[in-house]
Structures are given as structure tokens and as C-alpha cells.
Amino acid sequence: MVLPLPLTRSKPTAESPVEFMARSHRLRWYELLPWVVAAGAFLVYPSYLALGAQVMIMVLFALSLDLIMGYAGIVTLGHAAFFGVGAYTAGLLAVHGWGEPISALFVSAAVAGVVGAISGYIVLRTTGLTLLMLTLAVVSMLNEAANKAGSITGGADGLQGITLQPLLGLFRFDLYGRVAYIYCALVLFAVWLLVRLLVHSPFGRSLTGVRENLVRMHAIGAPVHRRMVTAYAIGAALAGIAGALQAQTTQFVALNVMSFDLSGAVLIMLILGGVGRLYGAFLGAPLYMVAQDMLSRLDPVYWFFWIGLLLVMVVMFARGGVLGVGDVIWHRLKK
Amino acid sequence: MSQILPAIVSILFHGVAYAMILYVVSVGLSVTMGLMGFANLAHGVFAMFGGYITVNLMNDYGVPFLPALVVAVVVVAAASVVLERLLYAKLYNAGEIEQVLFTIGLIFMSIAVTKFLWGPSPQHLTLPDSLKGEIQILGRSFPTYRAFIIVLGCVIAFSLWAAIERTRFGARIRASVDNRRMAKSVGINTDRLFSLSFALGSGLAALGGGVGAEILAIHPAYAIEHLVYFLIVVSVGGMGSIRGPFLAALLLGVSDTACKYLFPEIGAFFIYVALFAALLWRPAGLFGRA
Amino acid sequence: MTSLLETRQLSKSFGALVVTSDVDFRLETGARHALIGPNGAGKTTLINLITGRLQPSRGNILIAGEDVTSTSQAARVKRGLGRTFQINMLFRELTVLENVVMTVSEHRGRAGDMFRYAFSRRDIVAEAYELLERLRLGEDALRKVREIAYGRQRLVEIAIALALKPKVLLLDEPAAGVPSAESQLILDVMAELPPDIAVLIIEHDMDLVMRFAQRITVLVQGAVLTEGTPAEVMADPRVREVYLGEHHHG
Ligand SMILES: Nc1ncnc2c1ncn2[C@@H]1O[C@H](COP(=O)(O)OP(=O)(O)OP(=O)(O)O)[C@@H](O)[C@H]1O
Ligand SMILES: [Mg+2]
């Protein structure tokens, strides 16, 4: 089970490879599991809907990182920058009277995408430690900006006073978070469809090529830098949507949405689930958030220790995350 | 005129002292990056523990400054070798993602451990009397402690340079930075070389953390808070070089001090903008070998 | 007269080490040209300079009379340059077919497409598969590159280069490391290359060179020692001297 596309075939069959490939991207039943779970959770746990919405926002955020890191192979410490840009954009729009949530999502995505394109154009000329440093510098810089521009952003106190109009003019955001939950689920669903199409498109496959073998990509004449910047900007825009959802559903933007901590957290979610597999985000983000909920209830101060230890263990013993381990077990069983 | 000159001198003085700390802490990272190609984001953790050990030996056990520093350096260097052999070495051939996540994991663990051992608040270094006052240079007075840091930084930079350029150990390091496989094939024991230089780098970081505790405050989030600056020194300086990070640290330390002094509101932005411009211009760093 | 590919006083140094010095070299349409020389002579470096993987310290590179010295690798591929690597440069985790599909998409300018599935382009996949069948790689199409034999991986290198439909094909030791039993496959493929493309091959195996090449250039310490027909080159006493003193790999 090489998620999500099984493109290899060990035994020859009558079917031509061309036809085999052409149906390789069809939807498989297990790809619908997250949505079954999301619908089930809505019915079974009506009192946890706010947490559920948060989880889906983080899934979306991790999914946007998967495009950049899992597919294009760009390791970044600054992905929270775009989450933050989206959150502040949506928050400021709402504070200043643009309370229509869906159009605000699009604006947030656009702003984050532009910031991603510009910063990506610069940082992606470098590699390795320098690239890590520059991505981190972008977050630090934006964080500093939001902090200093306290009159606009609320600075360290956070941005307050976000009020939203009803969704589609019909559904008021309710206290139980029912509308927010459905809203987040639908947005996540739409983004998932988009990302699924993207990673299976020629563009997505060429990102895989960039990750796997840069030298070869140059030699077949691929415009590598442009592809990477494009992927980075799209990932940034999607992260912006996640940030905007967070601002809209919690009606608050904290300064720490743009921080190393959040960049690190989303990296961890993705590695826990599995990198470059499209569904890692759907497993990793809930796992992380549930673990955070439980562990920080045990002792809030030392939560960092356990998550750090978990990270070290995953890297040492379970490289592919949950999906990677699943892969190994699946292959053992098949033999 | 009479206002400007003292300001410049003061900026230079404090900027250079700051630069020396950045240099001593970061130079080891440059070596591990150049030598092992390892993106060790947790390098600052070694500096932080150096700081904690120094401060606590002095405050809780009455150990004098210099012996406390020595103990901190030795303990951290020894601990780092254990870590290197047991964990880091397993990831030398792993991808960048794995190295980054592993070292972030170490940072997170260090935050919890230091909170548990020493609490969340910053630690204060009580300077020995000999470093407390001020000294007169050219009719002006400067804090002795910062002058001490500047001298120490220069001595370390010079010794490192001499060690790398003039000793067999240094020749091996240079050979391995240039071409690891080649170095191995001519019989250089790269494993031992890696461990030794890793220990040296972490020991220096611990020294920087201890000596610089008054400049970079020691607290649990130390390794994250200053990570950008450590990485800037290494990237702008160019990986695997001794001279590059020194120049980069000087540039960063002085301009950061100047910007924060002259434009306290927007000072940090100048640094970042200059940084982006510099690396757009020369992606491999300003002072590295091409 | 303009050549398909030309270098003028092409030079490259790594620090103090001069690896290419003043190389003037021409390749015409339909040429079958071999580049030989001892290990470390700078043969691979010359190909890297021509394709733009390395920037020369001095000199120029022209494709069909146009100076491409400062253009990107992608721009040169567009102008008809294709290459193979001495050491495999493949997407090892992807299938053989995907390696070639990726290249064909790139060649057709469709690799940036975002809103359709890559493999639903039957025309592209079919073109890639036909190429693989032509190179007798059809059976391996759906296997991962890293799972197939080394000799067949070398064929995938060639398949990728051919998928770009190059006007100039640069082959860097295509049979390097292939057991002689399997190297016949590679020879067959080379014999069937389209006659109108120019081929430059780096090769240590002199039998292969003599069978394939119409002209030979000998490179020693980065500089052209001599150039001519195989008979001329073999008769040259300086070439004998270089090769007699040398123990080179096969
Ligand atoms: N990136 C580099 N940095 C420094 N030196 C290099 C680099 N690439 C190649 N060289 C040196 O340039 C010289 C020529 O190398 P090159 O690979 O072009 O030789 P070659 O003729 O292809 O040899 P072979 O027959 O072994 O493939 C060698 O001495 C090599 O060590
Ligand atoms: Mg070669």
C-alpha cells in the first residue's frame, strides 16, 4: 500500500501499462475515511466541536506543509509565517467591517500567497542551513512587525474584536461551534480535493522529481526554481487559509501564530503522520493535538519534553511516521 | 560632533563584545555543518547548558568564575560526544528533514529539562570583582567585563585559526571539509575526527554561553530565541570556515547594536533586509570559499 | 559555417586546479564522435560545461551558432542538448515508466500543468512506453528503478536522454560498470540511434570506440591533445604514449 498512488506492478498482466497508469489516480475507499470520521465526530461528540474545528485547521495547515516539504522537499522552519499572515488578514478584515467569511478566506489566501511568492523567490535560491535560517528569519521578521505595529495588530495582547457575518448570509456562527465545525470541514474538504489533484498532476509529479533528484531535474530541462517558488507560494496560500479559519473561528489572533513554536509544531504533526503521503496530515495533526491535550493536562510544563522525546524516537526508529510504519507492516503481511 | 563620536565608539565597543559571544557560540556549528553536513539546530542547547552550569556553580556552590567555566566546558563537551556517538552519528547520512526534526526534538527536551532543574526565569551571572568595574582606554571608560569578552573572543579566534591552519588535526579537518570520501580513503579516521570537532564545537558553545550570560540571558528558551542569529553567523560566514563566521559575527553584532541603538523601533528590520539582500547577492555566504 | 555545437577556448579551473583549458571543439549534424582520455582528464567536466551544470571560467559555448554560455541548463535542453550521466542520475524511488513520463512531459512543456492528472495524458504515457519498448525496457516499465539490474538502469539513463528528442546527445560512459554480457544491449541501442542527431560519447573501451566513432578527440589534462579519424588518432605516437603509461579502467 504505497499511499496514495500504487504505480508499481510486480506481476505482469494483460492490461497495458498505459491503461494501468491512467486509472492509478482513481479515488480509493480509504481516502474517504477522514470524512467519515469527521461526520461521525460531529454526531457523536457534540461538545467537542470547537476542538474538532481546531484539529481540522491544523490538518489543513499540515497539508499545506506537506505540499512544500513532503512533495517539493523544501525543509522550512518558517511555515507559520503564512499561517500568521492569513490569520491577521482575516482578523483585520473582520475588525474593519469586512465580516463576510468566505470572501475573506480568499483574500487571506491571496495575501499569504503573495508573501510566500516573494519570500520564496529569495529564500529558495539558497539551500541547506542557509535556507533554514532564511525561512526562520521570515517568521521572526513578521513576528517583530506584528509586535511593533501594536496599534494595528494589537501587538502582544493579540487582535480582538473580530465579528463575522453569518455564513452565506444564512448560518450564524453559534456558541456550540456547530457552524464553525461544518465550515472548517467543508473548507478542508475543498482544499484536500485541490491538493490531491495538484500532487497527482504533472506539476506535482515534477515536485517529487525536484525532491528526489535535483541534478536530474535540471538535466531534463525543468525550470526548477520556478517550480519550487510556485509550490512554496501555493503552500503559503493554503497555510493562509488555515490561519484565516483560525482567526474566524476563535475570533482572536494571538501574536504567537507567527512563531518558531508553531512552525515546529506543524513539522511535528506532519512527521508523526508521515511526510509526502498526502494523508500524513490527517493522522498527524489529530494525534499531536490529542497528545498535547492529554500530556499537558498531566503536567503542562513538561509537555515539551515528551513531544521532544517523541520526535527523537520517530526520527530514530519510525522514519515514515504512522503511515510509514503502516507501510512496513503491510508489506510484511503481504509476504 | 562631540555627541556623535562617543556614540560610535560605544556602539562599536558593545557591538564587538556581542559579536564575540555570537562567534564563540556559533563557530562550532559552522564546523559541524562544513564537516559532517549536519544541520544541528540544537547547537544553542550546548551554549545554554554551559551558561546554566557556570551560573549555578557560582551562585549555589560558590565556585569562582574561571573554574566554573572550565567545568561547564568540560561537562558539556563530554556530554556532547556521548550524544554525537549515540544519536547524531546515526543521522549523518539521513535526510535534512530527519536532522532538522531530531534537533528540534532535542531543543524541546532541553526546554523542559532546564525548566525542571532551574525554573523558568532567567539566570543572573554574578561577575567576579576583577571583572566588575570599568577600565580606562584612551581617556574613556568601558565596562571591564566587555573588554574581557572582546579579548577572549579574539584569542579564541586566533587560536582556532592557528589550530586549523598549523596543526595536523587542523589539516585533517580541512581535508575532510573539502572532500570527506577522499579524506577517508587516505586513512583519516573520520569518525574520531567528527567526535573531536563536535566536542570542540560544543565546548566552545558552552564557553560562549557561560561567558556571555550577561549578554545573551540564560533561560529555557535560549536555544530557540537566539537560533536565528547563530544561523545567520554560519550562513553569512560560509560553512566550514573559521574566518568567515568571525567576520559575519562582527558584521551582525555591530550592525545589530547600531540599529537597535539608533532606530529602536525598526532596528531589527534593517538587519533582516540586509540579510536577504546579502544572500540574494551571494547565496553561498559573504565570506566563504565559493 | 556554423556547427551544431561548438566550444571556443573553453576553460575551467577549480581553485588552482585547471581541469579544462582552451578547448575548441565542434560537433556537426549526424556526427558520431568519441571523447577519450585518461581518468581525470576532464571529460565529464567538459560535458558539464556544455550542458551548463558548471559555469566556465573563460570561453564560449555555441549551439547552432548561438552563444548559450550564460543561459540555464533548461534553456540548453530546449535548444536540443540531451545527456546521460557517468553515474546514474535517476529517480530511484519512481518507476522506470514514470522517469520517462516525467521527461516527456517536460519536453512537451506540459510538466507545469496543475489541473489534470499526470497519467491521464495517455498520449504522453504512451510515448514514454513506446520509447521503453524500443530500448527493450518494456517489461521493467512498472518497476522501481532501484529494483532493476544495473545494466538496465544504464538503459534508463539513455531512455531519458532520448525522451528529450535531442539534436545533440552527450553520452558519458554509457556502459560504465555494466558486465560485458549485458553491454551488448547498450551497443545495440547505440547502433539504432536516429542518424540525424549528433552523438558525443565518452568511453574507455577502445573496441567500442573504434566500432562506433567516426572521429575521436583525445583529452589530456584538460587540453585537446589531438583530433582525427580513429585511424589517425591511433597512429599518433603521442596518444600511444599517453595510453601506454596509463592503466585505465574498462
Ligand atoms: N566539483 C569539483 N571540484 C573540484 N575538482 C573537481 C570537481 N569536479 C571534478 N574535479 C576534478 O577535475 C578533474 C577532472 O574530472 P573529470 O570528472 O572531468 O574527469 P574525467 O575525465 O571524466 O575522468 P573519469 O574518466 O574518471 O570519469 C579531476 O581531477 C577531478 O578531481
Ligand atoms: Mg568522467
Average pLDDT over residues A90-110: 90
CA C100-C127-C120 angle, 5° bins: 85
Residue C39 CB less than 6 A away from ligand 1: yes
CATH annotation of B4-120+140-281: 1.10.3470
Helix B267-281 with A101-123: angle, nearest 10 deg: 60
Cis peptide before B245 (omega within 30 of 0): no
Distance from residue C172's CA to the centre of ligand 2 (Å):
7
Q: Which residue of A115, A126, A129 is the best one to mutate when testing the B interface, meaning the one whose CB has the most B CBs within 10 A?
A: A129
Indicate whether A132 pLDDT > 80: yes
B192: CB partners within 8 A, 6+ apart:
none
Q: Which of C119, C138, C165 is the last residue of a domain?
A: C165
Q: What does the alpha-carbon distance between residue C26 and residue C8 come to, in Å, rounded to a whole number?
A: 9
| Subunits with 3+ C-beta pairs closer than 8 A to B | A
Residue A135 belongs to a domain: yes
Q: HSE, CB side, 13 Å, CA atoms: give it for residue B171.
A: 5
User: How much of chain B, in percent, has pLDDT values that exceed 90?
Assistant: 42
Amino acid at C116: R
Closest Cα to atom 12 of ligand 1:
C19
Interchain proximity A128–B96, CB inside 8 Å: yes
Indicate whether C83 pLDDT > 90: yes
Residue A21 belongs to a domain: no
Interchain proximity C164–A209, CB inside 8 Å: no
Please tell me the total count of domains within chain C: 2
* pLDDT higher at A276 or B268: A276
Q: What does the alpha-carbon distance between residue B13 and residue B17 come to, in Å, rounded to a whole number?
A: 6
Q: What does the alpha-carbon distance between residue A167 and residue A180 come to, in Å, rounded to a whole number?
A: 9
C106 and C127 co-located in one domain? yes
The grid cell for B201 is 564545537
Per-residue pLDDT band at B141 (split at 50, 70, 90): confident
Least confident of A104-113, A274-283, B192-201, B277-286: B277-286
C73 and C138 co-located in one domain? no
Indicate whether A74 pLDDT > 90: yes
Average pLDDT over residues C228-232: 89
Average pLDDT over residues C122-151: 90
Of the candidates A197, A202, A216, the beta carbon closest to that of C89 is on A216
Q: Which of C148, C165, C182 is the last residue of a domain?
A: C165
Predicted confidence at residue A139, as pLDDT, reads 93
Interchain proximity A219–C77, CB inside 8 Å: yes
Instruction: Determine the atom of ligand 1 nearest the C-alpha atom of C222.
Output: 14
Closest Cα to atom 2 of ligand 1:
C14
Indicate whether C247 pLDDT > 60: no
Per-residue pLDDT band at B289 (split at 50, 70, 90): low
The kind and range of the H/E element at A310 are helix A303-317
C143 and C41 co-located in one domain? no
Residue C86 CB less than 6 A away from ligand 1: yes
C70 and C183 co-located in one domain? yes
Average pLDDT over residues B176-194: 77
C15 and C70 co-located in one domain? yes
Residue C41 CB less than 6 A away from ligand 1: yes
Please report residues of B whose CB lies closer than 8 A to that of A132. 39, 41, 100, 231
Average pLDDT over residues A280-288: 92
> Residue C8 belongs to what domain range?
1-80+168-250
Indicate whether C17 pLDDT > 90: no
Of the candidates A127, A275, A308, the beta carbon closest to that of B108 is on A308
Per-residue pLDDT band at B129 (split at 50, 70, 90): confident
Closest Cα to atom 16 of ligand 1:
C42
Q: How far A290 CA sits from the closest chain C CA (Å)?
A: 33
Q: How high is the mean pLDDT of chain C?
A: 89
Provide ipTM, 2 decimals.
0.91
| Residue C18, domain CATH | 3.40.50.300
Residue C85 belongs to a domain: no
Predicted confidence at residue A335, as pLDDT, reads 67
Residue C222 CB less than 6 A away from ligand 1: no
Of the candidates A18, A24, A201, the beta carbon closest to that of C129 is on A18
Q: Indicate the DSSP class of residue C215.
A: E
Q: How high is the mean pLDDT of chain B?
A: 87
Per-residue pLDDT band at A3 (split at 50, 70, 90): very low
Least confident of A79-93, B180-194, B253-267: B180-194
Residue C99 CB less than 6 A away from ligand 1: no
Residues 54..93 of A with a Cβ closer than 8 Å to B: which? 69, 75, 77
* A7 at C interface, C-beta within 8 A: yes
Closest Cα to atom 8 of ligand 1:
C45
Q: Which residue of B228, B230, B269, B287 is the best one to mutate when testing the A interface, meaning the one whose CB has the most A CBs within 10 A?
A: B228
Q: How far A49 CA sits from the closest chain C CA (Å)?
A: 33
Least confident of A67-81, B65-79, B200-214, C203-217: C203-217
Q: How high is the mean pLDDT of chain A?
A: 87
CA C166-C169-C172 angle, 5° bins: 145
Average pLDDT over residues C221-230: 90
C221 and C172 co-located in one domain? yes
B221 φ, ψ (degrees, to nearest 5) = -90, 10
Least confident of A9-18, B47-56, B111-120, B252-261: A9-18
Q: List, in sequence order, every beta strand (DSSP E) within chain B.
A: 134-137, 140-143
Q: HSE, CB side, 13 Å, CA atoms: give it for residue B122.
A: 12
Report the sign of the C-alpha dihedral through residues B76, B81, B82, B83, in that order.
positive
Whole-model pTM? 0.91
| Maximum Cα–Cα distance across chain A | 69
Residue A91 belongs to a domain: yes
Please report residues of A whose CB lies closer than 8 A to that of B41. 77, 132
Confirm if A95 and A77 have CB atoms less than 8 A apart: no
Per-residue pLDDT band at B242 (split at 50, 70, 90): confident
Please tell me the total count of domains within chain A: 1
C39 and C76 co-located in one domain? yes
Confirm if A195 and C53 have CB atoms less than 8 A apart: no
Predicted confidence at residue C244, as pLDDT, reads 61
Indicate whether C250 pLDDT > 50: no
Indicate whether A10 pLDDT > 70: no
Residue A127 belongs to a domain: yes
Q: What does the alpha-carbon distance between residue C240 and residue C221 come to, in Å, rounded to a whole number?
A: 16
CA A295-A300-A302 angle, 5° bins: 80
B72: CB partners within 8 A, 6+ apart:
B49, B50, B51, B53, B54, B57, B206, B207, B209, B210
> Residue A245 belongs to what domain range?
30-257
Per-residue pLDDT band at A162 (split at 50, 70, 90): confident
User: How much of chain A, in percent, has pLDDT values that exceed 90?
Assistant: 47
Please report residues of A whose CB lies closer than 8 A to that of C106. 206, 220-222
Residue C40 CB less than 6 A away from ligand 1: yes
pLDDT single digits (tens) C148-200 = 988 889 999 999 999 999 999 999 999 888 887 778 888 888 888 888 899 99
Predicted confidence at residue A33, as pLDDT, reads 87
Residue A280 belongs to a domain: no
Residue A238 belongs to a domain: yes
Distance from residue A213's CA to the centre of ligand 1 (Å):
21
Instruction: Determine the atom of ligand 1 nearest the C-alpha atom of C249.
Output: 25
Closest Cα to atom 7 of ligand 1:
C14
C11 and C109 co-located in one domain? no
Q: Which of C165, C181, C209 is the last residue of a domain?
A: C165
C111 and C145 co-located in one domain? yes
Average pLDDT over residues C65-70: 91
Interchain proximity A309–B266, CB inside 8 Å: no
- Domain ranges across chain B: 4-120+140-281
C103 φ, ψ (degrees, to nearest 5) = -70, -45
Per-residue pLDDT band at C249 (split at 50, 70, 90): very low
CA A176-A178-A181 angle, 5° bins: 120
Confirm if A289 and A51 have CB atoms less than 8 A apart: yes
Residue C173 belongs to a domain: yes
Least confident of A130-134, B84-88, B116-120, C1-5: C1-5
Distances (CA, A) of C250 to A251, C37, C241: 71, 12, 18
Residue C228 belongs to a domain: yes
C138 and C183 co-located in one domain? no
Residue B102: closest C-alpha in chain A: A312
C173 and C74 co-located in one domain? yes
Per-residue pLDDT band at A2 (split at 50, 70, 90): very low
Residue C55 CB less than 6 A away from ligand 1: no
Average pLDDT over residues A134-150: 88
Residue C248 belongs to a domain: yes
Please report residues of A whose CB lies closer than 8 A to that of B90. 316
Interchain proximity B272–A137, CB inside 8 Å: yes
C212 and C157 co-located in one domain? no
Average pLDDT over residues A161-180: 76
Q: Which of C110, C118, C5 is nearest to C61 (CA)?
A: C5
Residue C19 CB less than 6 A away from ligand 1: yes
Distance from residue C213's CA to the centre of ligand 1 (Å):
23
Least confident of B41-50, C103-112, C193-202, C237-246: C237-246
